[in-house]
Amino acid sequence: MEFVTVETHGAVALVRLDRPPVNALNAQVADELLEAFTSCQDPAIRAVVVTGRPHFAAGADIKAFKESLDSGARERSANKLVDAIAALENLEKPTIAAVHGFALGGGCELSMGADFRYVAEDARIGQPEILLGIIPGAGGTQRLQRLVGYQKAKELVLTGRHIDAREAHAIGYADKVLPTEAVLETAMADAAEWGTKATVAISAAKRALNAGRLPFDEAMAVEAAEFQRSFSSDDAREGIDAFVAKRDPDFRGT
Q: Are strands 163-164 and 124-126 parallel, antiparallel or unpaired?
A: antiparallel
Q: Are strands 4-9 and 163-164 parallel, antiparallel or unpaired?
A: unpaired
Give the pLDDT confidence score for residue 17 in this predicted structure: 97
Give the pLDDT confidence score for residue 152 in this predicted structure: 97
Residues near 241 by beta carbon (within 8 Å), at least 6 away in sequence: 249
CA 154 to chain CA mean position, Å: 21
Give the pLDDT confidence score for residue 100 in this predicted structure: 98
Give the pLDDT confidence score for residue 153 in this predicted structure: 97
* Residue 190, CA distances (Å) to 19, 121, 211 in order: 26, 18, 25
Residue type, 235: D
Task: State yes or no: is 92 an active-site residue.
Answer: no
Task: State yes or no: is 181 an active-site residue.
Answer: no
Give the pLDDT of the chain (254 residues) as one tens digit per residue. 999 999 999 999 999 999 999 999 999 999 999 999 999 999 999 999 999 999 999 987 776 666 666 665 555 566 899 999 999 999 999 999 999 999 999 999 999 999 999 999 999 999 999 999 999 999 999 999 999 999 999 999 999 999 999 999 999 999 999 999 999 999 999 999 999 999 899 999 999 998 888 999 999 999 999 999 898 898 898 888 888 888 988 888 78
Helix (H) or strand (E) segment spanning residue 209: helix 199-210
Q: What is the Cα–Cα distance from 219 to 164, expressed in whole angstroms? A: 35
Catalytic residue among 109, 123, 174, 204: 109
Would you say the pTM of this structure is higher than 0.75? Answer: yes
Residues near 158 by beta carbon (within 8 Å), at least 6 away in sequence: 130
Give the pLDDT confidence score for residue 86 in this predicted structure: 96
Catalytic residue among 59, 101, 106, 113: 106
Give the pLDDT confidence score for residue 118 in this predicted structure: 98
Catalytic residue among 103, 129, 153, 198: 129
Give the pLDDT confidence score for residue 61 in this predicted structure: 72
Task: State yes or no: is 60 an active-site residue.
Answer: yes
Catalytic residue among 13, 47, 60, 187: 60
Task: State yes or no: is 165 an active-site residue.
Answer: no
Q: Are strands 4-9 and 12-17 parallel, antiparallel or unpaired?
A: antiparallel
Provide the b/e sequence for 16-37 (b: ≥16 CB within 10 Å): bbebeebbbbbbbbbbbbbebb
